[in-house]
Amino acid sequence: MSIGEVLGQLRVDFPDVTISKLRFLEAEGLVEPQRTAAGYRKYSWDDVARLRFVLTAQRDQYLPLRVIREQLVEWDATGAAPGRSRPTLVAVGPGGEVPGREADEPVESSEVRLGRSDLLARSGLDESTLAELERLGVVVCDPPGWYDGDALIIAGAVAGLAAYGLEPRHLRGYRTAADREVGLFAQLVAPLVRQSDPAARARAAETARELVALSQQLHAALVRVGLRSTLGR
Burial class of residue 93 in the structure, from the number of CB atoms within 10 Å of its CB (0-12 exposed, 13-18 middle, 19+ buried): exposed
Task: With a cut of 70, say whether residue 122 has pLDDT above it.
Answer: yes
Residue 61 has a pLDDT of 80
Do the domains 3-104 and 108-166 sit in the same CATH topology, yes or no? yes
- Give me the mean pLDDT over the 117-138 stretch: 90
Res. 189: pLDDT tops 90 = no
Mean pLDDT confidence for 116-145 = 88
**Does pLDDT of 51 surpass 90?**
yes
> What pLDDT shows up at residue 81?
54
- Look over the chain and give the mean of its residue pLDDT values, rounded to a whole number: 80
Instruction: Judge whether residue 17 has pLDDT over 90.
Output: no
- Nearest 5°: phi and psi at 230? -65, -35
Q: Which pLDDT score, from 0 to 100, does residue 64 have?
A: 80
| pLDDT score of 186 more than 60 | yes
CA distance 70 to 179: 32
Instruction: Provide mean pLDDT across the span 113-127.
Output: 89
**pLDDT recorded at residue 233:** 67
- Asked if residues 137 and 107 have their Cβ atoms less than 8 Å apart, the reply is no
Query: pLDDT at position 183, please?
Result: 92
Selected residue with higher pLDDT from 183 and 144: 183
Sorted by where each begins, the domain ranges of the chain are 3-104, 108-166, 173-233
pLDDT at 94: 43
The structural architecture, per CATH, of the domain 108-166 is: Orthogonal Bundle (1.10)
What are all long-range contacts of 98-101, with beta carbons under 8 Å and residues at least 24 apart?
98/8, 98/11, 98/15, 101/11, 101/15
CATH assignment of 3-104?
1.10.1660.10
- Lowest-confidence segment of 33-42, 54-63, 162-171, 195-204 by average pLDDT: 195-204
For the chain, give me the number of helices (H) and strands (E)?
Answer: 9, 2
| pLDDT, tens digit (0-9, with 9 covering 90-100), for 65-109 | 888 888 888 888 876 655 444 444 444 444 444 444 443 334 456
